[in-house]
């Protein structure tokens, strides 16, 4: 490993390109990849997108180079630049700090890269593919509020922390579907976190029976848009003419009509 990084550092452009080619072959980027990829797309449920694949491989390659260079710098450069070797304790501390930094920052860097370039391989699965349905749904009508609880049935290997839930109702004035805030009057929240097992709890101050349309919509957290958040409250599609809508279709959101599922339980029935 030491020789490899030293050769990469000291080699000319041709040598570096050759070494990059070797790494790309190890990572699976070859002619065969682009031949087999479309076949997987055709005969399996695996969707092969060449542009996403190239960006993903490039992203991981850059990460490997940065990490490898950093480790090389910690372990070997000090020996070359200083007459006396750095203490073993100093190297261990630097290495642990590097590992901590990588473990903390990598998920965020991966998320930002996937979101900016819209790379499917760096993002979690779309909500309508991650969520199979809802079970144990319960709607409790209180005096001025309702409490909606339930469990999202998630696909295997899906991380529920990558998703959020919103409640949409139809505004009687403009006839548009908009997300409903919950919480205190001056501390409004729209996105509801989902627990590890898919459980959610949404308390909302509204009269459920007076609402003709109530929808539960699940998005990926990566579907959040900074541009949308500037003129809207939550950064997700809002003020829609219908549900489903072209905007929710683009994000492949999971949409569930609560009104068609069950009526609220009265306080006297609880």
pLDDT of residue 25: 56
Mind listing the domains of the chain with CATH numbers? 2-122 (no CATH), 127-269 (2.60.40)
SS (H, E, C) the chain: CHHHHHHHHHCCHHHHHHHHHHHHHHHCCCHHHHHHHHHHHHHCCCCCCHHHHHHHHHHHHHHHHHHHHHHHHHHHHHHHHCCCCCCHHHHHHHHHHHHHHHHHHHHHHHHHHHHHHCCHHHCCCCHHHHEEEEEEEEEEECCCCEEEEEEEEECCCCCHHHEEEEEEEECCCCCCEEECCEEECCEEECCEECCCCCEEEEEECCCHHHCCCEEEEEEEHHHCCHHHHHHCCCCCCCCECCCCCHHHHHHCCEEEEHHHCCCCECHHHC
Whole-angstrom distance, CA of residue 32 vs CA of residue 25: 10
pLDDT surpassing 50 at residue 267: no
pLDDT surpassing 70 at residue 259: yes
Stretch 125-149: mean pLDDT: 87
Phi-psi region of 55 (alpha: psi -120 to 50; beta: other; left: phi over 0): alpha
Handedness of CA 257, 259, 260, 266 (dihedral sign): positive
Stretch 140-168: mean pLDDT: 87
pLDDT of residue 15: 63
| pTM beyond cutoff 0.85 | no
- Residues with Cβ within 8 Å of 68's Cβ and at least 6 positions away in sequence, in order, are 1, 5
Question: Per mean pLDDT, which range of 90-94, 193-197, 229-233 is the poorest?
Answer: 229-233
Q: Does residue 51 have a cis peptide bond before it, meaning omega lies within 30 degrees of 0?
A: no
Picking from 184, 202, 207, the residue whose alpha carbon sits closest to that of residue 192 is 202
pLDDT of residue 19: 64
């Amino acid at each position: 490993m030491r020789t490899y990084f030293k050769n990469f550092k000291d080699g000319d452009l041709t040598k570096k390109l050759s070494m990059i080619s070797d790494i790309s072959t190890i990572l699976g980027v070859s002619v065969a990849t682009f031949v087999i990829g479309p076949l997987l797309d055709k005969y399996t449920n695996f969707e092969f997108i060449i542009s996403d694949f190239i960006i993903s491989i490039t992203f991981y390659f850059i990460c490997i180079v940065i990490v490898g260079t950093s480790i090389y710098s910690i372990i070997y450069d000090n020996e070359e630049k200083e007459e006396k070797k750095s203490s073993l304790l100093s190297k261990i501390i630097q290495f642990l700090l590097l590992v901590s930094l990588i473990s903390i920052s990598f998920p965020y860097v991966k998320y930002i890269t996937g979101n900016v370039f819209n790379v499917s391989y760096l993002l979690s699965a779309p909500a309508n593919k991650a969520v199979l349905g809802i079970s144990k749904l319960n709607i409790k009508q209180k005096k001025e509020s309702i409490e909606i609880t339930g469990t999202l049935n998630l696909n295997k290997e899906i991380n529920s922390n990558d998703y959020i839930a919103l409640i949409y109702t139809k505004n009687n004035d403009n006839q548009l579907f908009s997300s409903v805030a919950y919480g205190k009057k001056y501390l409004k929240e729209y996105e509801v976190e989902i627990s590890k097992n898919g459980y959610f709890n949404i308390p909302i101050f509204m009269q459920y029976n007076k609402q003709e349309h109530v929808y539960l919509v699940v998005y990926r957290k990566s579907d959040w848009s900074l541009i949308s958040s500037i003129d809207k409250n939550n950064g997700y599609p809002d003020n829609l003419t219908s549900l489903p809508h072209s905007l929710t279709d683009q994000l492949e959101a999971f949409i569930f009509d609560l009104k068609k599922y069950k009526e609220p339980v009265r306080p006297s029935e609880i």
